[in-house]
Structure 1
Amino acid sequence: MSATYYFAIVGTNDSPLYEAEFGVQRDESKYLNQFIVHAALDLVDDAQFMSTACYLKTVDRYNNWNVSAYVTPSNVRLMLLHESKMDEAIRSFFVDTHELYLKTMLNPFYEPNAPIQSQTFSTKVSTLAKKHLL
């Protein structure tokens, strides 16, 4: 059985900028995934002041799910809901996704804190997920 991952980029005003699911997708758990990640935002805010690193590792657990987080210097949170313990692979995924997000931010037509709707961005995130997580 393949693992399931839910990835979200959350803006500075706690609004979702991007979200994607990788692996086995279950329609009934879509809203549960969003709820679990959103509930972990307060824990990310607390954890980011306890560490000097961008990658905060696992910040919350819900049943057999883990929520890992990566906070950019501009306070945008990259969140991953997952079942497995692959800290190095998750860190690599976050670093590469952060670089991809920065390239998107450099686009003069991108409005800060606006949802990312680019199909190219989604394709590249999926490729990074396959490379590091699946």
Structure 2
Amino acid sequence: MKKIVCVAIVGKGNNPLFIQDFSSSITDENKLKLHYIVHCSLDIIEDKPGSNKKLPSDMYLGLLYPTEDYKVYGYLTNTKIKFIIVVLDTSDIKDSDLKLFFKRLQTLFINTTSNPFYKPNSKVESKKFLQEVTNLVPSL
């Protein structure tokens, strides 16, 4: 059973760059709920101490908040790109594993956005990126 149900990357202006659901039994209602959870986590990221510093010493923000069914974790880059993952509440995941996952996800994002044909601050629609993220999700 997959622990991660959603991966989101949000731009500097809080615009969604990438949102993908990984739950096997996702309905339209659950999909909307996950998008809402990701959106709500943006407020928490802005309120986190250290997220307004120019260069945070640790980009991993940890647990942003739990819901009834999920836990939401965040990661903030020095360019204010936000990485958010939503995991099942029953999942017991170590912070070290989450940090490693976020670093790998950031590396995939950097490799994809370094493409000269990528328009900065636009949605990531690369099939290769989606496939690499899909391959990365079971590693957690």
TM over 0.5: yes
Contact 1:48 1:71 in 2 (8 A): no
d(CA) in 1 for partners of 2:86 and 2:112? 23
1:23 Cα offset (Å): 4.0
Instruction: Give the counterpart letter for 2:116 in structure 1.
Output: P
d(CA) in 1 for partners of 2:113 and 2:59? 18
TM-score (norm 2): 0.85
Which residue does 1:127 correspond to in 2?
135
Work out whether 1:38 is the aligned partner of 2:45.
no
Contact 2:10 2:82 in 1 (8 A): yes
Which range moves more in the overlay, 93-102 or 23-32? Answer: 23-32
Which residue does 2:57 correspond to in 1?
52
Structure 2: tracts of 5 or more residues without a match: none
Question: Segments of 4+ in structure 1 off by > 3 A?
Answer: 1-4
d(CA) in 2 for partners of 1:25 and 1:48? 36
Q: Percent identity?
A: 29
Where do residues 1-134 of structure 1 align in structure 2 (5 Å cutoff)? 2-27=2-27, 28-47=29-48, 49=50, 52-83=57-88, 84-86=91-93, 87-130=95-138, 132-133=139-140
The superposition leaves residues 71-100 of structure 1 with CA deviations (integer Å, 9 ceiling, x where unpaired) of 111000000011223123222111101011
Which range moves more in the overlay, 61-70 or 72-81? Answer: 61-70
Q: Secondary structure at the match of 2:48?
A: helix
- How many residues are paired up? 132
d(CA) in 1 for partners of 2:49 and 2:85? 16
1:57 Cα offset (Å): 1.0
Instruction: Give the counterpart letter for 2:26 in structure 1.
Output: R
d(CA) in 2 for partners of 1:79 and 1:61? 13
d(CA) in 1 for partners of 2:49 and 2:101? 19
TM-score (norm 1): 0.89
Instruction: Give the counterpart letter for 1:68 in structure 2.
Output: Y
Q: Secondary structure at the match of 2:101?
A: helix
